[in-house]
Amino acid sequence: MSDAERKLRTVYLSDTTLRDGEQMPGAALNPDAKVEIAGLLAEAGLSSIDAGFPACGAEEVEAIRRIVRSEPVQVKSAPAISALCRTVRRDIDLAWESLEEAPRGKRSVSLFIGTSPLHREYKLRLTADEIRGIIRETVEYARERFESVCFSPEDASRTEPDLLCDFYRIAIDSGATVIGFPDTVGILTPELVKEQLKRIFDGVSNLGKAAMAAHFHNDLGLATANTLTALRMGVPIAQCTVNGLGERAGNTSLEEVVMAIALHGPVLGLRTLVDAAKLWNLSRRVSELTGIPVAANKPVVGRNVFETEAGIHQDGLLKHPDTYLPFRPEAVGAPGIRLVLGKHSGRAAFSERLESLGWKLSSGELDLVVDFAKAANKDAWRDEETLLRGAVAAAMVR
C-alpha cells in the first residue's frame, strides 16, 4: 500500500445480495447457489455478508449453516456472517441456530422494526413507547448471545427525527454495536442524506459506542450517490448488493460504490477492501444464479460498458482505450473492449475486424465492404463474420 493510500479512510462494504437482493421477485436462490455467491463475496473482500432471514424457513436456516461451514468463509480474513431478524426472540433464536458454528467475532444478527408513522400506525399498530420497549428487550436478548448486534429502524428516512434519535439511543444503550440507517423506500437525495445524518450525529448522545451502516434503496436512481454521501460524512459501513438487486428498484449497487471509490479515492478520502477485479465475474455469476439479467447499460458491469458501435468512439478507442472509457476492462475483470460493427460504425473498426479475419483491403475495397455491410438488415448483423465474408465477396466482384 502506498503512503497516499494509507492516508485514505477505509470503509467497510457489507453485502446483502443473499437477503435484500433475494427479496427481488423471481430471484430466489437455492442453498448451493447461496454458498457459491457467499464464497465469491468472501474472495472479493467484502467485510460482512447478510446471509439471509432465518424466519423464512428451514431451507434458509440450512443455507446459512452451509455458508458458515464453507471454506472461503472459514479463513481468518473472511467476512462476518449476519442473519436478519424481526425484533422477536424466536427470530433471534433461529439466527443463533443458523450461525452457531461461525467463529466468534464472525457472527452477527441484524434486528429491524418499522419506526415511521406509517409503519407504527398501519403495519404494526404499536405506539412509539411500545416500540421503545421492544427495542430494549430484543436488543438486550440478542446481545446476550451475539457479540455483534445491528439494529435498524425500518423506514428510518421517514421517521420523525427526534423519535429516530431516541430509538437509536435506546438500541445503543441496550447493547447494539451497529445501527443501520435504512432508506427503505429510496426517497432520499444526497442533500437530504446530509441533513438527516447531521441530525442523527447531533441528536444521538451515545453514537460513539456503535458503528453506523448506511442502507439505501434505489427508487430515485440515487442509491450510489446517497451511499457515497453517507460514507463521506463519516459513516463507516455501507450495505450493497451485487448488480443492485433488491426490493423494487433495488439496493445500492456494490460495483458502482467500489468503482466510484477506486476512481476517486483521493478526492473522497476513502478506500474499500474490495478487489474490483473480481466484480465482473461476481456480477455474471449472480445474474446466472438468480436468473435476473444485467441490463446492457448497467454502470460498471453492463455489457455495453466496454462495447461500442459508434464510429467516432471506435476510432478513438483504437487510437487509445482511455479516449472513451472511464476505466479499463481489466480494472473490473472484464474480458476486453469489443467494437460492435453496425450502421453507426466507421471505417477504422471495419478495417480492424477485417484484418483480424485475414483481409487486408485497399482503401477503395474497404469503402465497398463498408457500404455493403451497412446496407444489411439488423438480423444479418447477428452473425457478423458471415455478413463480413458476404460483403467482401460482393465488393470483390464489383
Pick out residues in 222-281 that bind ligand KIV (CB under 6 A): none
Residue 13: DSSP 8-state: E
The residue (of 120 and 215) whose beta carbon lies closer to ligand KIV is: 215
The residue from 83, 94, 112, 315 that contacts ligand KIV (CB under 6 A) is: 112
Residue 128: DSSP 8-state: H
Residue 188: is it exposed, middle or buried by C-beta count within 10 angstroms (0-12/13-18/19+)? Answer: buried
The residue from 13, 15, 18, 20 that contacts Zn ion (CB under 5 A) is: 20
The residue from 175, 182, 250, 333 that contacts ligand KIV (CB under 6 A) is: 182
CA distance 97 to 87: 16
Residue 120: DSSP 8-state: I
Asked if 166 and 138 touch (Cβ cutoff 8 Å), the reply is: no
The residue (of 20 and 155) whose beta carbon lies closer to Zn ion is: 20
Size of the site for ligand KIV (CB under 6 A): 9
Which of the listed partners (Zn ion, ligand KIV, none) does 52 bind, with a CB threshold of 5 to 8 Å by partner kind? none
Alpha helices in the chain (DSSP H): 3-6, 31-44, 58-69, 71-74, 89-99, 117-118, 128-145, 161-173, 190-203, 223-232, 254-268, 279-290, 311-319, 329-332, 347-356, 363-374, 384-397
Asked if 381 and 387 touch (Cβ cutoff 8 Å), the reply is: yes
Q: Which stretch binds Zn ion (CB under 5 A): 12-20, 48-56, 118-126, 194-202?
A: 12-20
Asked if 10 and 271 touch (Cβ cutoff 8 Å), the reply is: yes
Which of the listed partners (Zn ion, ligand KIV, none) does 180 bind, with a CB threshold of 5 to 8 Å by partner kind? ligand KIV
Which of the listed partners (Zn ion, ligand KIV, none) does 154 bind, with a CB threshold of 5 to 8 Å by partner kind? ligand KIV
| Minimum CB distance to ligand KIV, residue 36 (Å) | 23
Asked if 233 and 266 touch (Cβ cutoff 8 Å), the reply is: no
The residue from 34, 65, 169, 215 that contacts ligand KIV (CB under 6 A) is: 215
| Minimum CB distance to Zn ion, residue 62 (Å) | 23
Amino acid at 211: A
By the rule CB under 6 A, 180 interacts with ligand KIV? yes
Q: Count Cβ atoms below 10 Å from residue 169 Cβ, excluding itself.
A: 18
| Minimum CB distance to Zn ion, residue 251 (Å) | 6
| Minimum CB distance to Zn ion, residue 152 (Å) | 9
The residue (of 246 and 333) whose beta carbon lies closer to ligand KIV is: 246
Q: Which stretch binds ligand KIV (CB under 6 A): 180-188, 204-212, 347-355, 368-376?
A: 180-188
* Residues making contact with ligand KIV (CB under 6 A): 20, 112, 152, 154, 180, 182, 184, 215, 217
* Residues making contact with Zn ion (CB under 5 A): 20
